[in-house]
Amino acid sequence: MKRLLVAATLAAVAFGAGAEPLKVGSKRFTESYILGELLAHKAGEAVHRPGLGNTGIVFAALKAGSIDLYPEYTGTIAREILKLEGPFDLGRLNRGLAPLGMGVGVPLGFNNGYALAMREERAAALGIRTLSDLLRRPEARLGLSQEFIGREDGWPALKAAYGYPFATPSGLDHGLAYEALVAAKVDVIDIYTTDAKIERYKLRVLEDDRKVFPRYDAVLLHRLEVPERFPAAWKALASLEGRISEQSMIRMNAAAELEGKSFADAALLLDAAGSSPSRAASRTFFGALFGPDFWRLTGQHVFLVFVSLVAAMAIGVPLGIAAAKLPRAAQLILGVVGVVQTIPSLALFAFLIAAVGTIGTVPALIALFLYALLPIVRSTHAGLTTLGSGVRQAAMALGLRPGDRLRLVEVPLALPSVLAGVKTSAVINVGTATIAAFIGAGGYGERIAAGLALNDSITLLSGAIPAAALALLVQGAFELGERRFGWMSRARRQS
């Protein structure tokens, strides 16, 4: 009997382990989306968590076990993650990653380095061919991405090595930088050397004459247990070693950015040897809007907003009452919920990933709950503190105890103010929930993130417009409820 129980337990464990799919992550730029789709397709039983923000967020997700692996670059691992100085190879990277429970392997075959680029005619007019030449042109306008500005191997390393006189510019989304460059809004942008738009826009890639940038060979950054937990998937992924050339990667990027193909379709081009690039059939806005993912994204978005709002009401209203009834605590309560509102959303998401040990719905709900508190707490506090003293005196004259006065008189009279705060929180959360897609929580933000990565207005608007429409529907529903509540209140008074 004991042996049977042990065997059953082992079988259940084996079945559970086998049933769990490999989780592949990716960052929020075209190439990473495509590689994520390619890895998930090759692995077979795998799920892709796309567009998880910058290196900090996706690496936090890997550490937390929310994803099992993602495509990364050796230079990023060495300089940004491990903070290594000097030359490095895969052996040195693996020795540095081992204490973190991670490893690196499966070199995919191409280098996608950082570089700075200019329009050819502008570079020729200013006589700029190398990064050192920029020193002679302090009037050049920089349009650098947020991640490049913040990375140790990005702008800080470049500025220190070349002694640039430029002030650190405001960040510009990588997907929008090319359009700003072509429109002559900026003169210099940071690029990835496998970007498809380099050739399309005839850009001059400036030579890194002081060799500041390391090599950025594409590899798989994974948790150490992945090869043993997913042997079949890992064997399939290992077959990609050395298979993706720079030209192949540029071709896949071009399919997504220039031909309108989906990231998944672009990834499949790796195995479509000899096929020539072709422009995809023209898309319509309504076709993109009501695509096959519309109801899934709508359900995810509504779930995020509704659950976080209910939780914020359950906590925020009592906090507002406490602030109104305990003047000494009011400043502390209002101050704390006010400070939470000022925390940048992506920074809060990154902190919550590390705190709760996962990405996706849970940290997104916590963040949205925290952001929804301030309007509810403040409106509840304001509604109670603005009641006239005569109301309280009348309630006392009726012999009502403090708890009954609050429940039967003060809260009902303050209810319009409370509902106004709830409505404000609901509308704000509809918009804020779009950012939750950057940590794998889904919703309309998935389309917005993909649209930004591709600089595709149709994809972007197919996410932004439903979010705006949902916000209007939520506001209309609350206003309808307020009018009905007003009619019911007047009917009670008349009766």
Per-residue pLDDT reduced to its tens digit, 284-334: 888 888 888 899 999 999 999 999 999 999 999 999 999 988 988 899 999
Residue 118 has pLDDT above 90, yes or no: yes
- Which CATH number covers residue 306? 1.10.3720.10
128 and 162 within one domain: yes
Q: What is the pLDDT of residue 269?
A: 92
Same domain, 377 and 306: yes
Residues 393 and 446 in one domain: yes
Mean pLDDT, residues 358-364 taken together: 88
User: Does a structural domain hold residue 4?
Assistant: no
Final residue belonging to a domain, choices 205, 227, 257: 205
What is the reported pLDDT for 408?
Answer: 74
Residue 414 located in a structural domain = yes
Give the pLDDT band of residue 73 (cuts 50, 70, 90): very high
DSSP structural state of residue 408: I
Q: What are phi and psi of 19, to 5 degrees?
A: -75, -20
> Mean pLDDT throughout 41-45?
91
Residue 46 located in a structural domain: yes
| 345 shares its domain with 464 | yes
Residues 465 and 339 in one domain: yes
pLDDT at 495 over 70: no
Answer with the residue of higher pLDDT: 408 or 93: 93
Residue 28 belongs to some domain of the structure: yes
Domain hosting residue 223, numbered range: 20-110+216-277
Residue 150 pLDDT class (50, 70, 90 cuts): confident
The rounded percent of the chain whose pLDDT value lies above 90 is 58
Are residues 398 and 443 located together in one domain of the fold? yes
**pLDDT value at 117 more than 70:** yes
Per-residue pLDDT averaged across 424-446, rounded? 91
What is the band of 489 on the pLDDT scale with cuts at 50, 70, 90?
low
Q: H-type helices in 183-245, by residue range?
A: 197-200, 226-229, 231-238
The 10s digit of each residue's pLDDT in 168-198 is 888 888 778 888 999 999 999 999 999 988 9
Ranges 51-65, 75-89, 205-219, 267-281: which has the least confidence:
267-281
pTM (2 decimals)?
A: 0.77
In the chain, how many domains are there? 3
Plot region of 484 (φ>0 → left; ψ -120 to 50 → alpha; else → beta): alpha
Residue 117: CA count within 13 A, CB half-sphere: 27
Question: Where do runs of H (alpha helix) occur along 277-405?
Answer: 285-289, 294-325, 327-342, 345-356, 361-385, 389-397, 402-405
Judgement on whether residues 432 and 483 belong to the same structural domain of the protein: yes
The answer on pLDDT for 218 being more than 80 is yes
- Bridge partners (DSSP) of residue 117 are 189, 205
- Taking residues 248-270, what's their average pLDDT? 91
What's the mean per-residue pLDDT of the chain?
86
pLDDT of residue 91: 96
- Residue 2 lies inside a defined structural domain of this protein: no
Residue 13 lies in a domain: no
Of 205, 231, 263, the position where a domain reaches its end is: 205
Q: What is the pLDDT of residue 233?
A: 96
Predicted local distance difference test score (pLDDT) of residue 494 = 52
pLDDT at 402 over 80: no
**347 shares its domain with 455:** yes
pLDDT band of 359, cuts 50, 70, 90: confident
pLDDT value, residue 5: 37
Q: What is the CATH number of the domain that holds 103?
A: 3.40.190.10
Q: What is the DSSP letter of 9?
A: H
The answer to whether residue 384 is domain-embedded is yes
Indicate if 225 and 369 belong to the same structural domain: no
Mean pLDDT for the stretch of residues 333-358: 86
Tell me if 417 is assigned to some domain. yes
Each residue of 456-485: pLDDT tens digit?
Answer: 888 899 999 999 999 999 999 988 877 776
Q: Evaluate if residue 1 carries a pLDDT over 80.
A: no
Claim to verify: residue 377 and residue 358 sit in the same structural domain: yes
Q: How much is the pLDDT for 427?
A: 94
User: The tokens of 3 are what?
Assistant: 């042996």
pLDDT of residue 400: 65
278-295 confidence digits (pLDDT tens): 444 556 888 888 888 899
Query: Where residue 128 sits, what CATH number does that domain have?
Result: 3.40.190.120
From CA 147, how far away is CA 57, in angstroms rounded? Answer: 12
Mean predicted confidence (pLDDT) in 44-50: 90
Question: Does 273 lie in the same domain as 145?
Answer: no
Q: Count other Cβ atoms within 10 Å, centred on residue 284.
A: 10
Percent of the chain with pLDDT over 70: 88
- In this predicted structure, what is the pLDDT of residue 184? 92
| Residue 93 and residue 77 in contact, taking contact as beta carbons nearer than 8 Å | yes
Same domain, 307 and 265: no
Distance, in Å, from the CA atom of 19 to the CA atom of 3, rounded to the nearest integer, reads 24
